[in-house]
């Protein structure tokens, strides 16, 4: 028989959970059980790979210490890894004994959380141990407490050895109906390989660097593509220009997909239209390329673009409103 112990505490000397685990391990080994302990605080970088260790387990002990609230981060990480990468068919046949000692309030809730989590995973929870121990010496010197621990270890051995059945739990039905994870279409072997990659910090860092390099590459490609056609929209503005008597204004139009701004300098009957930089324009306009195409195509006016919120502006509103008079794209379309 193989029983694995997963300890989610911090490993401090006066942790009462460690005393309980040592005593249970002693009893189980006397019963010729192969006991393997995994201290999660020593394996925090490889926790995603630990569901692989459940393969040869007949039963497990999930142990943690409540020091302020809840089951702690290491144990939660391990349970998350079981949900994401564990072989659910194998977990369905594994008995689990929760062990929770607390130095504050909340040991019963933590024990219940471990049992509920294991049931949702599909496993078989056993009767566990929980208690409030303010001083570990009190636990070590109390023969009655030690006897309780020994009995729990013996009961765990009998439960696993006799493959005792248990009634189905309602949270199994809930899991099937509303808590079903998104299908990944991965075999258990592929899930194990994935968990190994997740636990490999070097691999994760390399992947992040590769993603950043690809992002920069595609951004540069998009910028180059946007700058390739520096005559885009200029012909339409020049063709549609309708001078207004004695009117002068400078417009700077920022198109999101383009690196340079579209500059419109109107001086009476003269129009300068180019992509570049304009110091202190009378009106600054910002919109995306699709909106500009709508305007140039005569399907939307500058006024409508501003009122609908697709175009942002800064400057004197009177000068902005003159844009539709200077460049009546809608009239040309008609």
Interval 228-240 mean pLDDT: 81
**Distance between CA atoms of 90 and 88, rounded to whole angstroms?**
5
Same domain for 178 and 61: yes
Interval 134-154 mean pLDDT: 91
Interval 254-276 mean pLDDT: 89
Interval 272-286 mean pLDDT: 89
Going by pLDDT thresholds of 50, 70 and 90, the confidence category of residue 226 is very low
* Span 30-48, pLDDT tens digits: 999 999 999 999 998 889 9
Q: Which of 110, 103, 105 lies closest to 75 in space, CA to CA?
A: 110
**Per-residue pLDDT, 207:** 73
Going by pLDDT thresholds of 50, 70 and 90, the confidence category of residue 112 is very high
Percent of the chain residues past pLDDT 90, beyond the cut: 41
Segments forming the whole domain that contains residue 287? 234-333
Least confident among 57-66, 192-201, 237-246: 192-201
Of 157, 182, 207, which residue is a domain's last? Answer: 182
Cα distances from 203 to residues 52, 200, 239, in angstroms, run 19, 5, 56
238-244 contacts, C-beta under 8 A, 24 or more apart: 238/271, 238/273, 239/332, 240/327, 240/328, 240/329, 240/332, 241/271, 241/326, 241/327, 242/325, 242/326, 242/327, 242/328, 243/268, 243/269, 243/270, 243/271, 243/326, 244/322, 244/325, 244/326
**Per-residue pLDDT, 69:** 87
Taking only Cα atoms into account, the Rg of the chain, rounded to an integer number of angstroms, comes to: 35
Classify residue 208: in a domain, yes or no: no
**Residue 239: CATH number of its domain:** 3.30.1050.10
Is the Cβ–Cβ distance between 86 and 31 less than 8 Å? Answer: no
Query: Which class for 269: exposed (0-12), middle (13-18), buried (19 or more C-beta within 10 A)?
Result: exposed
Q: Could you please report the per-residue DSSP string of 222-264?
A: HHHHHHH-TTTTHHHHHHH----TT-EEEEEEEETT-SSEEEE
* Span 214-225, pLDDT tens digits: 776 766 666 555
Global model pTM greater than 0.85:
no
Place of tokens 């199994």: 172
**Residue 149: CATH number of its domain:** 3.40.50.360
Q: How many structural domains comprise the chain?
A: 2
Classify residue 220: in a domain, yes or no: no
H or E segment at 143? helix 143-161
Same domain for 287 and 154: no
Whether residue 77 is predicted with pLDDT greater than 80 in this model: the reply is: yes
Same domain for 177 and 240: no
Same domain for 154 and 37: yes
**Distance between CA atoms of 240 and 232, rounded to whole angstroms?**
14
């Amino acid at each position: 028989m193989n029983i694995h112990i997963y300890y989610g505490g911090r490993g401090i000397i006066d942790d009462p959970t460690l005393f309980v685990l040592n005593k249970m391990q002693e009893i189980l080994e006397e019963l010729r059980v192969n006991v393997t302990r995994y201290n999660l605080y020593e394996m925090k970088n490889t926790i995603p790979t630990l569901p692989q260790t459940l393969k040869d387990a007949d039963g497990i002990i999930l142990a943690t210490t409540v020091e302020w609230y809840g089951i702690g981060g290491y144990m939660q990480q391990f349970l998350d890894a079981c949900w994401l990468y564990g072989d659910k068919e194998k977990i369905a046949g594994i008995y689990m004994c929760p062990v929770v000692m607390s130095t504050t309030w909340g040991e019963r809730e933590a024990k219940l959380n471990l049992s509920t989590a294991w049931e949702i995973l599909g496993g078989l929870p056993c009767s566990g141990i929980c208690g409030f121990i303010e001083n570990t010496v009190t636990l070590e010197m109390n023969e009655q407490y030690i006897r309780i621990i020994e009995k729990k270890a013996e009961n765990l051995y009998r439960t696993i050895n006799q493959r005792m059945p248990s009634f189905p739990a309602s949270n199994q039905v809930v899991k099937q109906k509303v808590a079903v994870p998104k299908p990944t279409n991965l075999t258990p072997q592929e899930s194990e390989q994935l968990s190994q990659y997740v636990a490999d910090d070097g691999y994760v860092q390399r992947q992040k660097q590769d993603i950043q390099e690809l992002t920069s590459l595609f951004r540069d490609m998009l910028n180059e593509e946007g700058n390739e056609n520096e005559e885009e929209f200029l012909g339409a503005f020049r063709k549609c220009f309708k001078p207004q008597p004695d009117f002068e204004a400078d417009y700077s139009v920022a198109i999101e997909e383009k690196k340079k701004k579209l500059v419109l300098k109107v001086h009476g009957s003269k129009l300068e239209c180019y992509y570049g930089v304009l110091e202190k324009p009378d009106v600054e306009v910002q919109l995306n390329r699709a909106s500009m195409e709508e305007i140039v195509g005569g399907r939307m006016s500058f006024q409508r673009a501003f009122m609908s919120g697709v175009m942002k502006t800064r400057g004197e509103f009177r000068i902005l409103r003159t844009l539709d008079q200077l460049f009546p794209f809608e009239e040309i379309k008609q």
